[in-house]
Structure 1
Amino acid sequence: MDATKRPLYIPPQMGLYAEKHRLFEIMQDLLGGLLIHRPENPLDFLIRQLKFSNCDAPRIFLLGPPAAGKTTIAMWLSKQLIIPRISRENLLTNEWSALASEVQHHQERKEAIPEVLWAKLIEERLQLEDCLCSGWILEGLPDTRELSRSLQVMGILPRHVVVLHAPDIVLIERNLGKRVDETTGEVYHTTFDWPTDETIRWRLKAPEGISEKETLQRLLEYHRNLPGIIQSFGKSMKLINADQPCADVFSQVLSHVRLPPRSNAPFSPRILLCGPPGSGKSLQAALIAQKYGLINVCCGRMFKEAVASGTRLGELIKSYTDSGWPVPDKIVIKLLSKRMNRLDCYIRGWVLHGFPRDEDQAKLMPDAGIFPNRVFFLTVSAEIILERLSYHMLDPISGERYHSLYKPAITREVNDRLLINPKDMEETIKSKVEMYFRLSKGLEESFEDAIFINGDQDPQTVFEYIESYVINTLPVKEIWNL
């Protein structure tokens, strides 16, 4: 970048680097921390934030009424994601904490504990290294609007807020059968989850406060506080029905927290469409490019444009296409790199189809600066492909294309003069399809995060599937310690 020239030209590689390393999210977190905490030494504060902070670390509020299964789900999440589980009970087990001792003194004197004190205790726990590096899950917290506001003022903001819900009568029945293993802290139930190990059964005890009257009182208090909590986190809350098997509830919660929240960072779609001939790549590329203003990059069309331009590269490509030989990969990647590294592709985004066709071509893309952030494979069986492609015919007079099954000629006169392109002969199509399926396995393995969509359905349905994956964030599997 030449600082002496105006307007400044920012190379696309800078944007790719910023997107790859999440610079926008890092700067957002650092600036937010400075404004919230207002440290006396901002530089030391930023160094500590950069050392410990993790933009992808899970920060979860798991809320819900009594007996909704918060403890069980939180423990399973803690084990699965390897993150600390924080609740009111384990906050008070920190013997070194002066704040925990103060809360215990309030409890011993049976005094109301200020919500600000709870918030400070939570903040103290979340500042430890395990929470800063790995993330955390707050079980049943915050449970009042005052605590929610206090946490927000302190800069304790979740990435996901999950609220379990179930009918009150179900919750009362659950609570009556609850039993706790005091050794491990595991929660069991006399009806739904009774342990098979006799040793564990002997250790189980009924916790305090599970009678029907006490449960009703806690439910009333929860329903009274819920509107205030919704006002604090309404837009980011995920409601999940807890009146179903615990494994199903956990699966839904885990799927939700694995989905990163929507980022405010600038996003330019870079879409790669792969699939066998006749799978509908060209049609889907045209639809997505038209709706979102992306650059539609078709490898075959680029060959024709290069040949028509009369350049040396075009003449070289023409020599291969006229002889029927495939264009070498080095020439193809050079042509694509020149087009896709223009500024319009970086600003508006692009959708590429017709390349790569095999694993070797896919390996050339990073060196050419071609980094797709959405990869789709349209899956269609060989029989359907033959049905789609081998019945094409052309009217030599009008230039209209017909299909024996989907778009037959209207009159017999037109039908009699239709011609079949040699490329549409069944033998030619079979050889292309067989080659694709022979190379497809290696190509699919080149893109670990590829999305597979059934192409044997209505084109608009396929487009809606593609669109949903383009506009929504994708799960970032590598950030979780699974």
Structure 2
Amino acid sequence: MLSSMELATDLVVQRPEDHVKFLKKALVRLQHYRDRPRLLILAPPHIDMENIAECVYEVTGALPVTRADIIALSTEIEEEEEEVMQNNEGEQMKIDEEEQMLKELMLQNEQEKILQEKERRLQNRFCRFLLGRSLQNSEEQLFENKDEEEVLQNKEGEEALQNNEQEQNSQNNEQEQMIHQTDEEQMLQNKEEEPMKAEIFARRAYEVLNSNPFLEKGWILVDFPDTYEEAIMLQRAGVHPTQVMQLIPSVLNKTGNLTSEAAMRQSRSKIYNGIKNYRRHILPLREAYKHVIKEVDVSGMDMRQVCEHVALQVRLSAAASAPFVPRLALLGFRGSGRRSLARMLAQRFGVVHVDLDEVMRQLFQAKPELKDQIKAGKKTNNNVINAIIEEKLLSWECLSRGWVLTGFPRTLEEFKMLDLTDTPPNRVALLDISPEEALKYTSGIRYNVYTGSRHNLLYDTPEVYLEEELDIHPDDMPRVVKEEIATLHEQLDALVEYCGASLTVVDALQPERRLFETLSAVLTRPAPVAPPRRPLG
């Protein structure tokens, strides 16, 4: 729905000559950047939105954008404003020219009337002169003619006075109408000034947000839009956030520890006025984004908790609305923490954790003869493993929920075989750790012979286990671990070269919580822009 709306908006805004060619390019761009987060955060003005946006950026990679950023990055705002001013001046000049032409026309009509009046008077006088000559013999008629002439002159004088008064009244009415019209135009100009500025800003925001790096990484709108009108202008210009979050803080703690440094320097009354203005506009804003808005309750939280909670909501929303099922191949030496992290990812996002050792253990328990055949050399170990992993990844739960794969692939050939399956991994991450660090970590691993629980003597406290109940698992024997690490270490350069830009390298020595957040971002972020892997090349 949102994609079709964006395409329609682009058609209206850009007005291309070739619509088919434009739509083809737009569809390619939409497919390439459709997973990029586009977030709008709504909150009272005293909350430190920039800090929250920076935290979300660290998790999602989306860039925070403020109103000042749009103005600074838009190089054409001043030219646009000058063009609008020039258009207004041109329109005003046309109006002035029309008024001048109207005045000249009125003056010309007046002059024509005066000439007609003079001509009429001359004609009357000439007629009276002819009449006087024809009646020279009659004195009475002469006197009567004189009286009639005087009466006519008096009437002409009265008519002239009336005409002058009417012309003066019409000129006064025209001047009053022109003044009234000018006042109305000024009022209309004042009313249209703000929407015009909002429209210009919306167009500039569209141009900035549809350019790199915002188009490549996504964006987070921090302090705009403020009003319903501005939100509508942004939507008409083609700025459509895929997620809108309204932060709802505690009512009692309006100026608590979520307040920004800028708000702390303001007076309490100014903060309350800002909150009052925010409440007046929030309902229309919710209406403008009613299809994508989500309320996030942050009452009782400090800044760190709010940042984590908002980042979590963004990740979960991105994972829930993603058009793909996540399939992550998590590479790394034994001892890098890959299994623990995979279990945490499975618990957080509901994906299936597929571990090679666990799958083989379950298979050998169900089919003991298969293990004997492999040991006797009747079946090739690699072919069996490839078939087992493919069958597991094609199960209904993996197809519907996605998966995180650990312990496999271990070689380049195994990775190519994995890419040839119907559901190859769409995410690849490598836990970067040296073989020495991995060996050091695995040297302390023990398992409880009674409960089967695993412990690490280097990190767990003695209170959680009894040392006499612990033993080394056969799979954790130093010889077995060294062989596995050596095999992967030999193949590591070839795997990295084969994966290319589709591989995400993660530092495995960072704290576990930060490492988990990084892998969560790898799972929920759009896939890296990279050429496809070529298993047959």
Output the TM-score relative to the length of structure 1: 0.52
Tell me the alpha carbon deviations over residues 225-248 of structure 1, each in whole angstroms, 9 at most, x when there is no partner: 999999859989xxxxxxxxxxxx
- Work out whether 1:277 is the aligned partner of 2:334: yes
Distance 1:427 1:476 in 2: 37
Q: Name the SS of the counterpart of 1:357 in structure 2.
A: coil
- Structure 2 CA distance for partners of 1:285 and 1:324, relative to 1, 3 Å: farther
Q: Name the SS of the counterpart of 2:335 in structure 1.
A: coil
Tell me the alpha carbon deviations over residues 220-271 of structure 1, each in whole angstroms, 9 at most, x when there is no partner: xx999999999859989xxxxxxxxxxxxxxxxxxxxxx9x95844453322
Q: What are the residue-to-residue correspondences of 1:78-117 with 2, within 5 Å?
A: 85-87=75-77, 89-91=78-80, 102-105=87-90, 112=190, 114-117=193-196
Tell me the alpha carbon deviations over residues 17-51 of structure 1, each in whole angstroms, 9 at most, x when there is no partner: xxxxxxxxxx6321565599999xxxx97885344
Tell me the alpha carbon deviations over residues 263-282 of structure 1, each in whole angstroms, 9 at most, x when there is no partner: 84445332222110122222
Counterpart position of 2:359:
302
Q: Name the SS of the counterpart of 2:404 in structure 1.
A: strand
- Work out whether 1:347 is the aligned partner of 2:400: yes
Q: Which amino acid aligns with 1:348?
A: R
Q: What are the residue-to-residue correspondences of 1:48-197 with 2, within 5 Å?
A: 48-52=22-26, 54-55=29-30, 56=33, 63-64=66-67, 74=73, 85-87=75-77, 89-91=78-80, 102-105=87-90, 112=190, 114-117=193-196, 145=227, 148-152=230-234, 154-158=236-240
Is contact 1:63-1:143 (8 Å) kept?
no
Q: Which amino acid aligns with 1:440?
A: L
- Work out whether 1:378 is the aligned partner of 2:431: yes
Distance 1:432 1:353 in 2: 13
Q: Name the SS of the counterpart of 1:365 in structure 2.
A: helix
Tell me the alpha carbon deviations over residues 350-403 of structure 1, each in whole angstroms, 9 at most, x when there is no partner: 111111112332222222023334333223333332233234456767767665
Counterpart position of 2:3:
29
Q: What are the residue-to-residue correspondences of 1:167-316 with 2, within 5 Å?
A: 262=318, 264-310=321-367, 315=370
Q: CA deviation at 1:117?
A: 4.8
Q: Which structure: larger Rg?
A: 2
Counterpart position of 2:127:
none
- Structure 2 CA distance for partners of 1:476 and 1:402, relative to 1, 3 Å: closer
Counterpart position of 1:24:
none
Distance 1:428 1:339 in 2: 25
Distance 1:132 1:455 in 2: 34
Distance 1:407 1:142 in 2: 49
Counterpart position of 2:388:
335
Distance 2:502 2:89 in 1: 49
Q: Which amino acid aligns with 2:3?
A: D
Is contact 1:375-1:450 (8 Å) kept?
yes
| Structure 2 unaligned spans of 5+ | 39-62, 94-184, 244-259, 264-273, 295-314, 532-537
Is contact 1:116-1:150 (8 Å) kept?
no
- Work out whether 1:389 is the aligned partner of 2:445: no
Q: CA deviation at 1:295?
A: 1.7
Tell me the alpha carbon deviations over residues 442-470 of structure 1, each in whole angstroms, 9 at most, x when there is no partner: 22331524333343465455434433443
- Structure 2 CA distance for partners of 1:224 and 1:395, relative to 1, 3 Å: closer
Distance 2:406 2:235 in 1: 49
The Cα RMSD (Å) is 5.7
Q: CA deviation at 1:343?
A: 3.0
Tell me the alpha carbon deviations over residues 45-99 of structure 1, each in whole angstroms, 9 at most, x when there is no partner: 78853444532399999654xxx67665x16xxxxxxxxx542x232577xxxx7
Query: Which is worse superposed, 226-235 or 461-470?
Result: 226-235
Distance 1:437 1:298 in 2: 19
Distance 1:224 1:125 in 2: 29
Give the structure with the higher percent helix: 2
Distance 1:341 1:449 in 2: 22
Is contact 1:30-1:49 (8 Å) kept?
no
Tell me the alpha carbon deviations over residues 141-185 of structure 1, each in whole angstroms, 9 at most, x when there is no partner: 989847624524625325599xxx9969xxxxxxxxxxxxxxxxx
- Structure 2 CA distance for partners of 1:326 and 1:402, relative to 1, 3 Å: farther
Query: Which is worse superposed, 293-302 or 45-54?
Result: 45-54
Q: Which amino acid aligns with 1:295?
A: V
- Structure 2 CA distance for partners of 1:282 and 1:443, relative to 1, 3 Å: same
The count of aligned residue pairs is 343
Q: Which amino acid aligns with 1:156?
A: G
Distance 1:167 1:400 in 2: 52
Distance 2:410 2:212 in 1: 41
| Structure 1 unaligned spans of 5+ | 1-26, 76-84, 169-221, 237-258
Is contact 2:501-2:530 (8 Å) kept?
no
- Structure 2 CA distance for partners of 1:119 and 1:305, relative to 1, 3 Å: same
